[in-house]
Amino acid sequence: MRHLRTLCAIAETGSLHRAARRLGTSQPALTTQLRRIEHSLGGLLFFRERTGCRPTPLGQTVLSRARPLLAGMDALVTEVRAAAAGVDGRPRLRLGSTASRAIPGWLRRLRERLPGTETQLHVAVSANALLGLVALGELDVAFVHEVEGCPLRVPDGLDQRVLLEREPQFISLSVDHPAARQDVVELADLAGDRWMVDPSVDGEWDGLRRMLTAAGLNPRVLHGDYLTAANLVATGEVVTPCQPTSRPRSDMAVRPLRGDPLGVRLLLATRQGADTEREALYGTVHSALEEAYWEAARQSAPYRAWLARPLLRASGARGRQVAWQAALMELEPRYDGGLDGGPGHGPARRAHGPGAGLGPAGGR
C-alpha cells in the first residue's frame, strides 16, 4: 500500500520534488523508491520531463487500480481504529505535530485535564502530510506551521484554528560569530555565511530563498536536517533559521533578525462536523497548546526580550497576540538578563498581584 500511495502522490503533484514534500521524505529517496517499484513491475510508470512527471500508459493502468484500493483500505483502517479505540473503554486522542518546544507542556496539560484519555503523538517534518492524516481520520488534530508566502495544501473538510497569526523566525549562529555580539542581527552581516535549511520541511526552503532574494543576498545554501544543522552551527560552519522558542546553548546563540523578515503562522487543524462533546475536547486541546506555547516562549530569553518590545495597538487575532505579549512582559521570576539569560541589558520585570503570570490560568 505504501508503494501505491507513492505512485498516487507523484501523479497528483506532478513532480518528484512536490511528492517528496507531501510524503515527508527527500527527493533522492523517493526517486530510488520509484525506480524499485518500476523494476518490480517491469516497466516505466512515469515520463520524467523538464516540467515534471506524467504517467506512462502502464502508469495510468496501475493508477486506475491503485486509487480504489487505497480508498477502500483507508475506509477499513478508519473503521478498525474507531472500533479499537473503544476496546478498553478509554477515549483516545491522536495528536500530530511538527517539531515544537511547546509539545512537552502540551502533553503535560492534556494529561492533567483529560486524565481518562489515552493521548498519542505523531511528530513529522511535513505539515502537509500531517494535515492529510487528519483528513484521512488517522489523526484527530494536527499542530502545524505555515511559512509566510508558502500556503499549505489544506484538504477539504478540515477546520483550522489559528494559534499565532505570525511567529517571527530567529537565526541560530555560533557564539563566536561577530553578529552574535548584537541583540538583533542584520541580514547583511550574514552575507558571507553558508546557510543550512531542511528542504523536506514544507515551505522552509522557499521562504528562506524569498527572504534572501529580497535582501539582495545570494549565499551558499546547504540542505540537511536541523539536528545536523545544530552541530554545524555550533562549530561556525553554517547559520540557520530557527524557532524563537529555541534556547541558546553554550556554543550557540539565538538572535532575532532586524525587521523580522521571515515568519510562520501556527495552526491547529481538526476535521469538520464534530459533535458538541468533540468540539469541547478540541477546545481543551487548543487552550492547552496555547498555554504550552507561551510557556515555552517565556523560557527562551531571546524570544522573551523580543516580546517585551514596545507594543502597538491592535485588534482581532493580532490583538490577542498583543495581549499575550503584554502578559509576558510581567515575567516571574525576576528577569534582568541579556538575550542569552546572563547578566545583561533587560530591565527587571516582576509579576504583580496574586495569580499574575503568563496566561489566563495565572502564573505557572
Digit-coded pLDDT (tens) for 3-48: 888 899 999 999 898 888 888 888 888 899 999 999 888 999 999 8
pLDDT for the residue 364:
30
| The pLDDT value given to residue 340 | 56
What mean pLDDT do residues 178-191 have?
Answer: 95
- Around 190, how many Cα atoms within 13 Å sit in the side-chain half-sphere? 32
Please tell me the predicted confidence (pLDDT) of residue 355.
30
Summarize the confidence of residues 170-176 as an average pLDDT.
Answer: 96
User: At residue 279, does pLDDT exceed 70?
Assistant: yes
User: How far is residue 98's CA from residue 127's CA, in Å, rounded to a whole number?
Assistant: 6
Please determine, for residue 297, whether its predicted confidence score (pLDDT) is greater than 90.
Answer: yes
pLDDT value at residue 349: 33
Give whole-number Cα distances, 324 to 66, 140, 291, in Å.
49, 27, 10
pLDDT at position 360 over 50? no
Element (H, E) at 145: strand 141-147
In sequence order, what are the residues at sequence separation of 6 or more whose Cβ sits closer than 8 angstroms to the Cβ of residue 334? 348, 349, 350
In this structure, are residues 291 and 358 in contact, taking their beta carbons and an 8 Å threshold?
yes
> Which grid cell sits at 165?
497569526
pLDDT band at 81 (very low <50, low <70, confident <90, very high): low
For residue 333, whether the previous peptide bond is cis, meaning omega lies within 30 degrees of 0, is: yes
Average pLDDT over residues 294-319: 76
User: Which band of pLDDT confidence, cut at 50, 70 and 90, is reported for residue 68?
Assistant: confident
Rounded mean pLDDT, 101-115: 95
Look over the chain and give the mean of its residue pLDDT values, rounded to a whole number: 83
More reliable by pLDDT, 64 or 169: 169
Quote the CA–CA distance of 72 and 266 in Å, as a whole number: 33
pLDDT of 325:
53
- Residues 188, 191, 196, 199, CA torsion sign: positive
